[in-house]
Structure 1
Amino acid sequence: MTTHKTGILRLGDRVEFDGKDYVFVALNGEVAELRAGQETPLNVLMTTLLTDKSFRLIGIDGIRRRGLGESKIFEALPAPAKDRAHWLENHITEVLDGVPAGAEPGTRPRRDYDVTSRSLRQRLMTKEAELQKTGNPLSLSTLKRLTRAYETRGIVGLVDQRLVRRTPTAGQVDQRFIDALTIVLQHNTDQSSGSMDRIRRDVEKHVQAEHGSDVEIPSRATFHRLVKKLAQGRHATGSARTRRTLSQQPDGPFGAVHPVRPGELMQIDSTPLDIAVEFEDGITGRVELTALVDVATRSIPAAVLRPSTKAVDAALLLARCVTPETMRPGWSEAVSMAASALPYQAMRSIDARLQNAAAKPIIMPETIVCDHGKAYISHTFKNACRSLGISFQPAHPDTPTDKPIVERTLQSVGTLFAQYVTGYLGSSVERRGKNADLQAVFSLLELQDLLDEWIITAWQNRPHEGLRDPLTPGRILSPNDKYAALLNVAGYVPVPLDAENYIQLLPAVTRVINSYGVKIRHRIYDSAELNPYRGQESGMKALRQLWEIRYDPYDVTRVWVRNHHGSGWITAFWRQLHTSPQPFGDTIWELGRQMVAGRGTDSPSEATIKAAVDNLLDRASPAAPKSHKTAKKVHRVIARSRAGEAPSRPLPSPEATQSRTGTGPGLETEPSKARDEQSDQPEKLAKIIPLRIYNPQERADEWW
């Protein structure tokens, strides 16, 4: 037990101050009067007295209060050692306080141990003689040492110190060898994992270079034990990924931000999803999952699957975040927002878009934390954040602890969803089943639909450990529960995403409006509404008199030209649209341009690239020979292009833009020639096939 200053100080109590015993006799305002026998009283400020390191409260019974309980170290000692320590404590406390520690309250001290009439040395000599007679002799010097140890460390000071001695981490190994080992382990952090012999050899070379043969090299067994004891030695020969992750942790305590409203702090990240997907060209491959996670509610308001994440994917993810999820054919009413924990009636009275919405919260981001991936630090994503008034906050390089919520959420998707889907590949090669990639049955669009349904039905209603109620910690809330609870405090303000907002999220370029229209990457776009502006300057000095144009990399059929002389946007269609047998995106067009340029044509025409693309698509069909040299690259590009053919969100209606801008153009100003040919024929509605609610746990047995 260590000595403490705990207790209540009353008039008449005995205290120890500056190495002497006093009696607390009076309190004059903030000044305490202390008296020691017939000496002159000592006046001292109470703040000075109570904060002085030498101050001790002895108490009216003369017993010093040295602690509030036994140390955890003492509790772990063997029973014989604890019994002897208690026996010594009774004798030492009788010397110090006049009565043993185990004496009954009110016990008067024996005459030879009375602290008021006998000095400490006299009491020690009496105790020495007493123990000599009982057959348990202790010398005077030993009693003095035990007394000092008890005063400073409590009962642990009376124990054989060999039992409580702190063992050095490195034992008897030379400190110079330990320093060299630490340097080698730090250098090993970014290297590929090797054996312990490699590390030992590097340490010996380092020691030899720095100190010669002066340092004693420990044995092989001692070296192995030493590496395991050092913090830098963890995973030294194990997982290189884990080793790098541990080294990226900050040295100080982890900080924490506690947002109090939905959208106040959100995190975005991408990760490969361990599911084999069958693309439309017949090949299989993995896709990337990009998700936005709200820190306050742990909700996933938006998640998309793509063969590889591009900047436009991250930007359009913001649009999904503030757009209601509509109910789909076959979904149960239990999935609707009206039947969920979300405050549907209050939200619907403000936002009529929620009439047939599914139970997914609508969250407007205020701050988004992301890593330094190309998709997130691109101008496209930054401009999207800027246009919606979102604060863009990149994380520190190689510091995953800056966005731990989204990191853990993406892992949870693999644990709670991916492993139940047919075609699951496992998180590593060691965990992969036999021919797992051949079990791919879902297309990219089907898998996206399953993921959306799982997020709404499972994730949003699943209790989350990070959402414990602070007033009742035993209760765990789900993301929807937490969202509903925070809305009562923060309120809800809908942010409708109209046509102009949607266009603002697309990549932008600047061009001249020529007599033939506008040219973007060898594609020519034109519209009758461009007639008044052909050959004219935009009037925008910041754009060097060029016109701002927005385009969708997944839809090359049209672009949107900002009307700098009026308002709104002008939709210009691709001139070759009516000759294209199937839609394709900007990525596959760029591949076709590179193929034509590789044949020696510096400035290929639009028709030449169009023909090369059509030929490329024909050769990349499932019936094409597998031996084609560029087949693998072509398959990836086609999969990337076709991933955006069926958008999960329809384009905003043109009427909304026209009504907002008055006479300004909407999203579509004129139909294409291909549509004109079919305009006279009545449209035949497709048969709607109801879909069951997707439950991966129930279907797991059917897949394997």
Structure 2
Amino acid sequence: MRRPLVVRPGDRVRFDNKVHTVVGISGVLVRLADEHGQSSAMHLPTLMTSQGFEVIGSGEARRLAPGLLDGLPPGEADRALWWHRHMSEVLTGLPPDASEGVMPRPEYDPATRNLSEREAAKAIELSRETGRPVSPHTIRWRRRRYQKRGVMGMVDGRQAPRRPVLGQVDPQVVEILRRLMDQAADGSTHTVSYYFERVGQAVKKLKGPPVEMPSWATFYRLFNRLEAGRHTTGSARTRRSLANQPEGVFDQVTVCRPGELMEIDSTPFDVLVRLENGVVDRCELVGMVDVATRSITAAVLRPTTKSVDAALLLARSVTPAPMRPGWPEALRMEHSVLPYERLLSVDERLRHAAAVPLIIPETVVVDGGKAFLSKNFHAACNAFGTEVIHAPPRTPTHKPHIERTLGSAASLFAQFLPGYTGWSTEHRGRKIEDEPLFSLHQLQELLEQWISAKWQNRAHDSLRDPSPRGGRSPRTRSTPRWSSRPDSCRSR
């Protein structure tokens, strides 16, 4: 008596006038792959009752999809086929190369043994065949993977060929889309449909064999993979910033002493102030930071940055910051950890100075601002024997310390003041100008007090010595170097 018709993983079947290969069966769900490698899934009863359905191949060489095991090491491919044969016998009672009309072995007959009994029998058989213990749990785990993924489930994942990240899309389409995304760095933001139309137009102009344009759904998935992290359809400002960043770290400069390398920059200050003429407006913050100690040696607030303001930073960096009326006594230099007695012998003005280091810059890094390109600024640098390094255009990564320091001034100081505007119009509140605003001179005094009281005592993770736990503050970081190398930090 002939056995009822069954479908097994690896069988080649025909329905709807197309040939498919059964790559896996999970319950009543069967996974299929056509001759082009495209996968699909459908219910097993629906498949077997569809019009024109028939099993057209059951030989082992014919039941695997063409090229399914291509790219695997020879030993791994043979091992996958070995497991494929045993899993097929566990599920259906017959190995995949069984001839028509062959009856299953008694221990694997689905009519008399349940699935657990067949798994236990296969475990005993493989333990005897391989000479190593194989548990029923291993067979059960293999059987589940086989039902879910077919013969590819028997392949070691470390040896399995990786699916193309970009799918089956023609490489020329991918290259055209990449080129359009690169060109969008400085352009306005467009939608995905814009790129779909542009790519379609470019594909039609290609010479040679015709290139198939992917469907809209496939193109959308491709676009999302290529666009990840690029903000092609997002903020134009963010996109330009990402396109401008370096591909990696060029080099790390090792700074050994205060003043060896300092950075200067200016930025709009996110606080409204009342100017001398009564006008309410924002001002600009010009600051200088020492890379070795992260000390803010000078910071100036001005309506607009001019060359004299840039030169003023150099003078403030080497001039003792006077104590302001109303400042706490703890902010005096004599009460700080700085080497006050040694410095007092150099400059008597330090007796009434605030606890801010005095550092003569040996080298400063500036950008292409007009104030830093002026003759006044360069003349001031020449007077102090300071070398000036101009960063390339649109490369804030060449002076990252001052960029981050000015950003910290907004988050740690400016947001606590009346008239705080936020860093963009999206973060600005209503009627900010009606708040009780400070004058420019009052705000300058508050900034200097904040630098002396807060910033100079704030721990930085980058100021970390090998032995102590946690980062050190700019003040404690500069103290040992001042005391051990007095000639490395000159004062006036």
TM-score interval, normalised by the smaller of the two chains = 0.5 to 0.7
Distance 1:425 1:440, change over 3 A: farther
The equivalent position to 1:350 in structure 2, one of 346, 351, 374, is 346
CA distance in 2, matches of 1:352, 1:134: 88
Question: Which residue is 1:131 aligned to?
Answer: 129
Cα RMSD over matched residues? Answer: 2.9
Indicate the residue corresponding to 2:453 in structure 1. 457
Structure 1 counterpart of 2:396, which letter?
P
Q: Which residue of 2 aligns with 1:245?
A: 241
TM-fit CA distance, 1:305: 0.8
**Selected match of 1:400 from 396, 409, 412:** 396
Contact 1:273–1:289, Cα closer than 8 Å, also in 2: yes
Distance 2:232 2:240 in 1: 10
What is the aligned counterpart of 2:411 among 410, 415, 418? Answer: 415
- Contact 1:262 / 1:297 at 8 angstroms: preserved in 2? yes
Q: Distance in 2 between matches of 1:129 and 1:414?
A: 70
Shift of 1:241: 2.2
2:222 to 199, 221, 226: 226
Pick the structure with greater CA Rg: 1
When residues 366 and 214 of structure 1 are mapped into structure 2, their CA distance, relative to the original with a 3 A threshold, is: same
Q: Report the alpha carbon displacement of residue 226 of structure 1 after superposing the two structures with TM.
A: 2.6
* Residues 485-504 of structure 1 aligned to structure 2 (within 5 Å): 485-492=480-487
Native 8 Å contact 1:276 1:439 kept in 2: no
Q: Distance in 1 between matches of 2:224 and 2:368?
A: 34
Residue 392 and residue 220 in structure 1: after superposition, are their counterparts in 2 closer, same or farther (change >3 A)?
Answer: same
Give the alignment's TM-score, normalised by structure 1. Answer: 0.47
Say whether 1:235 aligns with 2:226. Answer: no
Matched length: 353
Aligned residue identity for 1:176: Q
The residue aligned with 1:290 is 286
Matches within 5 A, 1:668-683: none
Partner SS, residue 352 of structure 2: coil
The match for 2:123 is: none
- Equivalence map 1:195-274=2 (5 Å): 195-211=191-207, 214-230=210-226, 234-274=230-270
Paired with 2:159 and 2:412, the residues of 1 have a C-alpha distance of: 49
Report how far residue 134 of structure 1 moved: 8.3
Q: How does 1:536-575 map to 2 (within 5 A)?
A: none
1:336 aligns with 2:332: yes
Say whether the 8 Å CA contact 1:311–1:375 is kept in structure 2: yes
State whether residues 257 and 488 of structure 2, in contact with CA within 8 Å, keep that contact through their aligned partners in structure 1: no
Counterpart of 2:479 in structure 1 is: 484
Distance 1:467 1:164, change over 3 A: farther
| Alpha-carbon distance change, 420 to 132 in structure 1, aligned in 2, over 3 angstroms | closer
CA contact (8 A) 1:228 1:234 kept: no
Say whether residues 1:308 and 2:307 are aligned partners: no
The code of the aligned residue for 2:325 comes to P
Deviation at 1:243, TM superposition (A): 1.7
The answer to whether the 8 A contact 1:268-1:293 is kept is: yes
Of 269-278 and 193-202, the range deviating more from structure 2:
193-202
Query: In the aligned structure 2, how far is the partner of 1:162 from the partner of 1:348?
Result: 69
**CA displacement 1:514-542 (0-9 Å, x = unmatched):** xxxxxxxxxxxxxxxxxxxxxxxxxxxxx
CA deviation profile, 1:550-573 (whole Å, cap 9, x unmatched): xxxxxxxxxxxxxxxxxxxxxxxx
- 1:18-76 CA-partner distances (Å, limit 9, x unpaired): xxxxxxxxxxxxxxxxxxxxxxxxxxxxxxxxxxxxxxxxxxxxxxxxxxxxxxxxxxx
- In 2, the alpha carbon distance for the partners of 1:495 and 1:253 equals 32
TM-fit CA distance, 1:380: 1.7
Letter in 2 for 1:131: E
Q: Could you list the runs of 5+ residues in structure 1 that have no partner in the other structure?
A: 1-83, 89-127, 137-157, 498-704
Instruction: Look up the equivalent residue of 1:445 and give its one-letter code.
Output: H
Contact 1:276–1:440, Cα closer than 8 Å, also in 2: no
Q: Which amino acid aligns with 1:193?
A: T
2 CA distance for matches of 1:406 and 1:134?
Answer: 66
Aligned match of 2:427: 431
User: Per-residue deviation at 1:211?
Assistant: 4.8
Moved more, 231-240 or 293-302: 231-240
1:475 maps to 470
CA contact (8 A) 1:265 1:366 kept: yes
TM-score w.r.t. the length of structure 2 is 0.66
Cα 1:129–1:320 shift into 2, 3 Å: closer
1:375 aligned residue: 371
Could you give the per-residue CA deviations for residues 294-339 of structure 1, whole angstroms, max 9, x where no partner exists? Answer: 1111110001011111111101111011111011111111111111
